[in-house]
C-alpha cells in the first residue's frame, strides 16, 4: 500500500513538472510542446491524484494561477487579484450552477487579458493579467489597439477587464508578412501575446489587435441596478466593443450554448469556450471565492467531438525560417461538420510524446472546434523516418533543441523555402507586378516544387491542374493569375533589376542606374565599380553590393534567362528627361491631380529627379498641398529654408 502511495506521489510530481514546463513554454516563450487535449487530460489526472492523496504541491498548476512575468516591461500589482475560472464540459453542471438565478453567457475569448483604467475620461493605464496578482504595464501598446477608446464620456475612475485578440483573418495575413511568424506563432493567441507585450508599440500598431470588454470592475458611484447586463450595456455606450453576451436562465442555457456552438466556426476571433456569470452582482460577490476560483462564474469548455482514424503519412513542410514542420495526414473523418484529413503536429517533441508512427490508430478532434489536432495515439508504434534531407531543396537537415523543444531544420542557406521574401519582392507592385501571388501562395508553390527560381513563375501553366485543385484556387483564380503573369512579361529594365532583390537597390536606385547605363541590359549586367561611382546618387555601398551580386554566376544565369522571358520596350527619351537631374524632392500629404503620391514620384524620376522620405539640407523642394500646415515636415523645411510648393506649383514646373 505504501509503495502504491509513493508511486502515485512520484507520478503527481512528474505531472506538476510536465504541466508547468508546458505552460511556461506556452505563456512565456510562445512555444507549444503539448496539445490542449493532452494538457487537459494530464491536468485532470493531477487533480484526481491530489484529491486521492489529500496533498497539493506548492508549485502545482492547480493552485498557482500563472507564472511570474518575464520581460523588460514595468510590472504592477493588481488592486484585485484575477482568478482563473472553474470549468466544465457538461451543460448539466451549468444548470446546477444557475439554480433560480439569471446569468450572462458570453464567449470565452482566447487572447491576452488586459485591465484598463480610465480617469477623467482618458485612458490612464493598461496592465496584462500576468500571474493574476502582478501584470505588465502595456499602456502605450493599448493606445494603438484598433478599437480601443482613448476618450470616453464617463469622467470618474473606471476599471474594466477585457481580452486583447487578433482575428483569424489578420493572423493569416500577418503570418504571410512576418518572416518568422510560422516558426514563432502557432495560433492567434500566441501572436496576440507577442504583439501586446512588445517594447515598441509601432509593432503592436501593425498587428491589428482588438479589445473586447468582458467585466466591469469598478466605476465610482454609478448605479447599474445590481445587474451585469446593465454594466455591459453601459460599457457599449462608453464606446467599448463588448464580448457578445446573452441573458440565460436554467431553462434557456442549453439552447443558448447550442447557439454559440453553431456560431463558433464563423466567429472572427478565437474562442476556447463560454463564460457564465450571475447577473445579480451582489449575490455573486456574497459567495466569495475559493483559493483559485470565484464562485460567481463558470467556464464552459466545448466537449470535443473525437474520431478514430489511421495515420497514413507524416508530411514534412519546410518554412522560410528553415524550420521543417511535421504534418499528420490521416484517413479523412467528419469533425464538427467538415471533412478533415490533416493536422499539424508542430515539432518532433510532440511526435515523440505521442510515439507517432505511420499506420498508427489515432484519435483526432478540433481544438476550440476550429483547428484539427491529434488527441491520442492508440497504438504508439514510435517515431521513425525523420528526413535527413529537405523535401524542397534536398539539403541536409538537423535536429535542434530550442526552448526544450526538438525541431527539424534545413541547413542549406540557399533553400528556396527560406527565400519566400525574395520571390514576394519579385512579384510585388514596383517589381514585376504579378497579382494573385501572396507569400502564402508562393510558399505553397515552392514547397510543392512548382517554383525553384524566378523564371519558373512564368511557367506555372505546367502545373495547371495541380494549382486549380489547391485550396483557395479554382478556374477563375488560375485564369486571373495567368493573365497577370502574361501582362508582367512586358516590363521595364529598372523593374526587372529591382525585382532581383539586390541589397540596397530600391526601385529609385534601379531607375537611376539603368538610365545612366542607357537602359542597355548588357551594360546593366556588367557594370563596374568605376562606372557606378560616376552615377550621381549611387554611393560606394550601393555600387559594391550591385557589382558583387552580378559577380555570382548563378545570378547572371537567372538574369539572362529572365531577359528571355520578358519584353522591354525601348524607352522614349523626352526633351525634359534630365529636367530634375540632381534635384531632390520630398512629397507629403494627399494629392488631387494624381492617383497617389507614387505617380508624382514617377513623374519626378522620369525627369532625372529623386524622391526621399525626409526633409534634410539636401532637399530642394517639399511638395505639400497644405503649404501653411504646421506638420513636422513643413516645420523642418522652414528651418532649413527649403521651398514648400503645392501640387499646382509642381505641375507648373512640369
Instruction: Tell me which residues are annotated as active site.
Output: 108
Measured distance CA(427)–CA(433) in Å, rounded: 5
Measured distance CA(161)–CA(243) in Å, rounded: 11
Nearest Cα to Cα of residue 225 among 162, 282, 294, 292? 282
CB-side exposure of 206: number of CA atoms within 13 Å? Answer: 10
CA 327 to chain CA centroid, Å, is 20
Residues 6+ apart with CB under 8 A from 107: 243, 244, 260, 267, 269, 271, 274, 275
Measured distance CA(623)–CA(586) in Å, rounded: 6
Decide: 107 and 267 in contact? Cβ < 8 Å.
yes
Measured distance CA(308)–CA(529) in Å, rounded: 66
341 backbone dihedrals φ, ψ, rounded to 5°: -135, 5
Measured distance CA(225)–CA(203) in Å, rounded: 41
**What is the 3-state secondary structure of 491-540?**
CCHHHHHHHCCCCCCCHHHHHHHHHHCCCCHHHHHCCCHHHHHCCCCCCH
CB neighbourhood size of 461 (10 A)? 11
Decide: 182 and 319 in contact? Cβ < 8 Å.
yes
Residues 6+ apart with CB under 8 A from 127: 76, 78, 114, 115, 117, 135, 136, 137, 138
Instruction: List the beta bridge partners of residue 372.
Output: 366
Helix residue ranges, H only, 215-317: 228-237, 253-263, 281-286
Measured distance CA(606)–CA(610) in Å, rounded: 9
- In degrees, to the nearest 5, what angle opens at C-alpha 374 toward C-alphas 373 and 380? 165
329 backbone dihedrals φ, ψ, rounded to 5°: -110, 125
CB neighbourhood size of 333 (10 A)? 19
Nearest Cα to Cα of residue 279 among 261, 258, 252, 306? 252
Residue 298: which H helix or E strand, with range? Answer: strand 297-300
CA 505 to chain CA centroid, Å, is 28
Cα separations in angstroms, 353 against 286, 309, 345, 372: 45, 19, 11, 18
Measured distance CA(327)–CA(344) in Å, rounded: 4
Instruction: List the beta bridge partners of residue 611.
Output: 585
Nearest Cα to Cα of residue 512 among 526, 522, 498, 500? 498
CA 647 to chain CA centroid, Å, is 39
Return the residue matching grid coordinates 529572365: 562
Amino acid at each position: 500500500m505504501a509503495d502504491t502511495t509513493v508511486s502515485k506521489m512520484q507520478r503527481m510530481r512528474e505531472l506538476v513538472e510536465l504541466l508547468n514546463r508546458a505552460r511556461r513554454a506556452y505563456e512565456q516563450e510562445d512555444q507549444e510542446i503539448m496539445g490542449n487535449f493532452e494538457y487537459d487530460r494530464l491536468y485532470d489526472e493531477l487533480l484526481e491524484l491530489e484529491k486521492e492523496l489529500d496533498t497539493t504541491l506548492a508549485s502545482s498548476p492547480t493552485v498557482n494561477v500563472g507564472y511570474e512575468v518575464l520581460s523588460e516591461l514595468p510590472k504592477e500589482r493588481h488592486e484585485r487579484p484575477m482568478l482563473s475560472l472553474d470549468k466544465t464540459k457538461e451543460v448539466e453542471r451549468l444548470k446546477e450552477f444557475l439554480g433560480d438565478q439569471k446569468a450572462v453567457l458570453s464567449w470565452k475569448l482566447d487572447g491576452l487579458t488586459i485591465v484598463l483604467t480610465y480617469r477623467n475620461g482618458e485612458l490612464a493605464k493598461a496592465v496584462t493579467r500576468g500571474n493574476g496578482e502582478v501584470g505588465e504595464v502595456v499602456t502605450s501598446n493599448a493606445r494603438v489597439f484598433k478599437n480601443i477608446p482613448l476618450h470616453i464620456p464617463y469622467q470618474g475612475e473606471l476599471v474594466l477587464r477585457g481580452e486583447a485578440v487578433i482575428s483569424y483573418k489578420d493572423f493569416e495575413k500577418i503570418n504571410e508578412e512576418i518572416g518568422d511568424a510560422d516558426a514563432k506563432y502557432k495560433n492567434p493567441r500566441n501572436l496576440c501575446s507577442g504583439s501586446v507585450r512588445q517594447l515598441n508599440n509601432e509593432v503592436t500598431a501593425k498587428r491589428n489587435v482588438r479589445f473586447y470588454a468582458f467585466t466591469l470592475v469598478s466605476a465610482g458611484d454609478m448605479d447599474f441596478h445590481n445587474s451585469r447586463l446593465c454594466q455591459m450595456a453601459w460599457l457599449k455606450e462608453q464606446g467599448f466593443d463588448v464580448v457578445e453576451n446573452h441573458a440565460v436562465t436554467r431553462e434557456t442555457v442549453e439552447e443558448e450554448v447550442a447557439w454559440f456552438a453553431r456560431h463558433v466556426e464563423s466567429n472572427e476571433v478565437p474562442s476556447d469556450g463560454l463564460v457564465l456569470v450571475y447577473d445579480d452582482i451582489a449575490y455573486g460577490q456574497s459567495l466569495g471565492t475559493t483559493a483559485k476560483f470565484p464562485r460567481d462564474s463558470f467556464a464552459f469548455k466545448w466537449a470535443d467531438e473525437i474520431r478514430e482514424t489511421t495515420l497514413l503519412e507524416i508530411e514534412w513542410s519546410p518554412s522560410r525560417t528553415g524550420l521543417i514542420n511535421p504534418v499528420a495526414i490521416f484517413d479523412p473523418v467528419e469533425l464538427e461538420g467538415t471533412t478533415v484529413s490533416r493536422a499539424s503536429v508542430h515539432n518532433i517533441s510532440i511526435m515523440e510524446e505521442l510515439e507517432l508512427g505511420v499506420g498508427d490508430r489515432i484519435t483526432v478532434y478540433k481544438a476550440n472546434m476550429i483547428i484539427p489536432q491529434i488527441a491520442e495515439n492508440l497504438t504508439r508504434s514510435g517515431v521513425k523516418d525523420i528526413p535527413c534531407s529537405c523535401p524542397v531543396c534536398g539539403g541536409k537537415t538537423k535536429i535542434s533543441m530550442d526552448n526544450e523543444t526538438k525541431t527539424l531544420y534545413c541547413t542549406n542557406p540557399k533553400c528556396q523555402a527560406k527565400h519566400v521574401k525574395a520571390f514576394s519582392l519579385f512579384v510585388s507592385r514596383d517589381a514585376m507586378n504579378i497579382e494573385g501571388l501572396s507569400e502564402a501562395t508562393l510558399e505553397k508553390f515552392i514547397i510543392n516544387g512548382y517554383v525553384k527560381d524566378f523564371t519558373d513563375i512564368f511557367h506555372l501553366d505546367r502545373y495547371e491542374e495541380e494549382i486549380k485543385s489547391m485550396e483557395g484556387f479554382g478556374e477563375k483564380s488560375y485564369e486571373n493569375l495567368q493573365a497577370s503573369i502574361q501582362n508582367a512579361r512586358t516590363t521595364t529594365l529598372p523593374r526587372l533589376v529591382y525585382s532581383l532583390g539586390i541589397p540596397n537597390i530600391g526601385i529609385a536606385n534601379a531607375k537611376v542606374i539603368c538610365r545612366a547605363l542607357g537602359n542597355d541590359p548588357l551594360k546593366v549586367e556588367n557594370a563596374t565599380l568605376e562606372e557606378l561611382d560616376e552615377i550621381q546618387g549611387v554611393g560606394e555601398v550601393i555600387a559594391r553590393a550591385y557589382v558583387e551580386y552580378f559577380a555570382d554566376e548563378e545570378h547572371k544565369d537567372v538574369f539572362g534567362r529572365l531577359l528571355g522571358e520578358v519584353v522591354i520596350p525601348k524607352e522614349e527619351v523626352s526633351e525634359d528627361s534630365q529636367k530634375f537631374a540632381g534635384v531632390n524632392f520630398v512629397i507629403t500629404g494627399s494629392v488631387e491631380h494624381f492617383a497617389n503620391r507614387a505617380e508624382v514620384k514617377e513623374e519626378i524620376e522620369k525627369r532625372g529627379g529623386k524622391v526621399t522620405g525626409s526633409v534634410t539640407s539636401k532637399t530642394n523642394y517639399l511638395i505639400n498641398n497644405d503649404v501653411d500646415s504646421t506638420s513636422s515636415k513643413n516645420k523642418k523645411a522652414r528651418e532649413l529654408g527649403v521651398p514648400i510648393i503645392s501640387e499646382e506649383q509642381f505641375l507648373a514646373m512640369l
